[in-house]
């Protein structure tokens, strides 16, 4: 279930990134060819790029596609690699949970103040929603990965399947 949710989130991130590219391209073409610019393009592109990043991070966690230093970890046996994986997953859980927790606090504060973007007035809460969602989902995925690493470490197996 987490895999499916993170895949759909990543696809949403891809679509938002495509939207950012199209908005930027349209703005540049309008400026060069027609002599005008679309008001608020920067606000929209910032929102789309930020959202794309945080919607894609959970899939990177669940597919284990983050950068790893294999030169260092390959020197350890299966249990050593599981211990390193456990440490990395635990740290990721804590860090991503902290992002979600503190992000929620900041989002609530900015929502209370009624903060909006500078150019076209997009409510700032829309910038926080993908940060909180992506961080919380990444934290949950990392927690599951931590439990898998504990099982591998205790059982001495390379894989649970």
pLDDT at 160: 44
Q: How many domains would you assign to the chain? A: 1
Which domain covers residue 34, as residue numbers? 2-155
With tokens 């790893």, the residue in question is 68
Q: Is residue 129 part of a domain?
A: yes
User: Is residue 33 in a domain?
Assistant: yes
Q: Is residue 131 part of a domain?
A: yes
Exposure pattern of 47-63 as b/e (b: 16+ CB <10 Å)?
Answer: bbbbbbebbbbbbebbe
The verdict on residue 160 lying in a domain is: no
Q: What is the pLDDT along the chain (161 residues), one digit of tens a residue?
A: 999 999 999 999 999 999 999 999 999 999 999 999 999 999 999 999 999 999 999 999 999 887 766 667 778 887 788 888 889 899 999 999 999 999 999 999 999 999 999 899 999 999 999 999 999 999 999 999 999 888 888 887 654 43
In a domain, 161, yes or no: no
Kindly state the DSSP code that residue 66 receives in the 8-state scheme. Answer: S
Q: What's residue 161's pLDDT?
A: 38
pTM above 0.75, yes or no: yes
pLDDT at residue 80, as a whole number = 81
Distance of alpha carbon 28 from its chain centroid, rounded?
28
Distance (Å, whole) CA 130 – CA 113? 20
- Indicate whether 58 belongs to any domain: yes
Terminal CA-CA length for the chain: 17
């Amino acid at each position: 279930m987490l895999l499916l949710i993170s895949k759909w989130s990543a696809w949403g991130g891809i679509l938002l990134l495509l939207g950012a590219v199209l908005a930027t391209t349209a703005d540049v073409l309008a400026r060069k060819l027609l002599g005008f610019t679309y008001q608020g393009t920067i606000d929209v592109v910032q929102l789309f790029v930020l959202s794309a990043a945080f919607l894609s991070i959970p899939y990177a966690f669940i597919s284990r596609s983050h950068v790893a230093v294999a030169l260092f970890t390959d020197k350890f046996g299966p249990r050593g690699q599981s211990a390193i994986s456990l440490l990395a997953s635990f740290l990721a859980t804590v860090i991503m949970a902290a992002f979600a927790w503190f992000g929620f606090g900041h989002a609530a504060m900015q929502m209370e103040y009624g903060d909006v973007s500078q150019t076209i007035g997009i409510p700032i809460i829309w910038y926080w929603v993908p940060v909180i969602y992506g961080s919380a989902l990444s934290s949950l995925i990392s927690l599951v990965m931590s439990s898998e690493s504990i099982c591998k470490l205790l059982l001495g197996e390379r894989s649970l399947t």
